[in-house]
Amino acid sequence: MWTSSALPSLALGLASLSGTLAQSYNTIPVIKAVGQHFFYSNNGSQFYLKGVAYQENYNPNGTSSSNTQYTDPLADASKCSRDIPYMKQIFTNVIRVYAIDPTQNHDDCMEQLASNDIYVVADLSEPGTSIDSNDPSWDVTLYTRYTAVVDSLSKYKNVIGFFAGNEVVSAQNQTAAAAFVKAAVRDTKGYIKQMNYRDTLGVGYATADVPSRDELAHYFACEPEGGNSTSIDFWGYNVYSWCGDSNYETSSYGERVEFFQDYPVPVFFAEYGCIEGVDGGATHRPFTEVAVLYGNMTSVFSGGIVYEWFYSENEYGLVEVNGDSVSPYPDFTSLSSQLAKVSPTITQSSTYTPSNTAPACPTVGGTTWAAVASPLPPAVNPQLCTCEVANLECTIDSDDEDSYAAVFNYICGADETYCEGIAHNATSGDYGALGGCSPKQQLAWVANQYYEGSSNKASACDFSGLAKTQSPTTSAGCEALISAAGTDGRGTVPSPTGQQGTAAASSSSKGAAAGTMSAPSFFNYGTTFFAAYVITALVSGVGMFVL
């Protein structure tokens, strides 16, 4: 590791930060996806990602973490001004951020990034609020979080788009979770359109290099219902197969190029930079893959994002940061040197006609794929959930979610039909209209079903004090929503209207209380159920495919 208090090549970056801005987040040309490539909107030149993952103290994965605090990388202007000049030394034109706080102001950092020609791809989840690989759902808590991030970042023209999930499917028995991520893609794209946000804002998915990667790529790009309302706009590939001085064949890069040559949307490395088997250790990555990524792979791949900026306990990281000091490691220099040599072929949008079409969807079968292509989980509509609960005669009077499991277990075990309205089985495509509501709202629904099935006896709405009877109310606009969902909860879910995320957003960034987070859906408690078979088979379907 080396340090420098004065680097000549930083002068331009520092000048742009402290002097007149060359451009702002209002004037920077947007990046748009056309077919298999990205292009600058102003001159039609092809855009290749030369990026770095930029998030402190964060380990992204497809599980709900118990540590729900994080540091928003775009909320501290002083950190951005400290780091951006160094980013320019490695030719950075895009950063990937894994969790931002939508309640914070990001204007200063986004302006600094724009003035240095740096774009942003942002993940929509945060620690504790992500689609869980093993207990997947797409619900009001997630929808509120996702739309809040979109609301927060939509005005910045240097935002390319969003990831609706990162490595949610990381094992062969987790492929059912893909259905809930694709529902998130659909609803996020629908929200962007409904709010009249910029139509070049894309929504994609970042996959791990797992055995089901090919099925995943086809599943997220296929269009079983016609149009592209449910398909991803770009595909991120987290790949660590090129280690040290590997090569095109050993790393399987050639196989990836061959597989994606007919893919209908841009593909790029959402993370790369293996640290295994590197001479000199993790901080000495030679980045010899750069010449290939920006060389003979450019007909298919649109560049990549190095993992990661900040050195951390996982031994990944290009720099060590201590207060206002930035100390690059040797692999920072290697990356800079390798990127300085590349000159990828530039295609002009005016001469490019997309010809690739959507692939066929993978089919459910064996132990390889467990998510039916259609239908997807229904749209999440927070208003429907609120309306339904207000219209019940028996509701839940407790916020103690640790006590919900036993009640779910008892009711669903007594009669499966009581729980059909909250079913979400990705393998059979069996979904209830209330499956996207919060755990408390779902429990209120099934408790009311049990109450009505017990001839409205007062004793059938108690559950050791968790439930109580109430006088049903129907607010304006609720009648049509409740009617669509049906008395058995097996009907349809109208798409929500109006702004959804901003008003309801809460912060769990550094310094905020973890208690502001909503809990995951009820079946996270499945290990305590004495009728686990009922819950697994009826509701989630996840347990049906295990190796």
Question: Which residues are tagged catalytic?
Answer: 167, 271
Question: CA-CA distances (angstroms) from residue 182 to 162, 205, 388?
Answer: 13, 9, 25
C-alpha–C-alpha distance, residues 110 and 463, integer Å: 51
C-alpha–C-alpha distance, residues 190 and 115, integer Å: 30
C-alpha–C-alpha distance, residues 89 and 77, integer Å: 19
C-alpha–C-alpha distance, residues 209 and 485, integer Å: 39
- Taking a C-beta distance cutoff of 8 angstroms, is the pair 275, 202 a contact? no
Residue 348: DSSP 8-state: B
One DSSP character per residue, 29-62 reads PPEEEETTEEEETTT-BB--EEEEE--SS----S
Long-range contacts of 283-286 (CB under 8 A, 24+ apart): 283/1, 283/311, 283/315, 283/317, 283/329, 283/330, 283/331, 284/329, 284/330, 284/331, 284/334, 285/244, 285/331, 285/334, 285/335, 286/244, 286/245, 286/331, 286/334, 286/338
List of E strands, 131-223: 159-166, 202-208
- Residue 525 token pair: 């408690």
- Taking a C-beta distance cutoff of 8 angstroms, is the pair 65, 127 a contact? yes
C-alpha–C-alpha distance, residues 266 and 255, integer Å: 17
C-alpha–C-alpha distance, residues 348 and 47, integer Å: 10
- Residue 155 token pair: 């005005």
C-alpha–C-alpha distance, residues 443 and 422, integer Å: 9
Single-letter amino acid, residue 359: P
- Whether the link from the prior residue into 29 is cis, omega within 30° of 0, is no
- Residue 259: partners with Cβ closer than 8 Å, 6 or more residues away: 214, 217
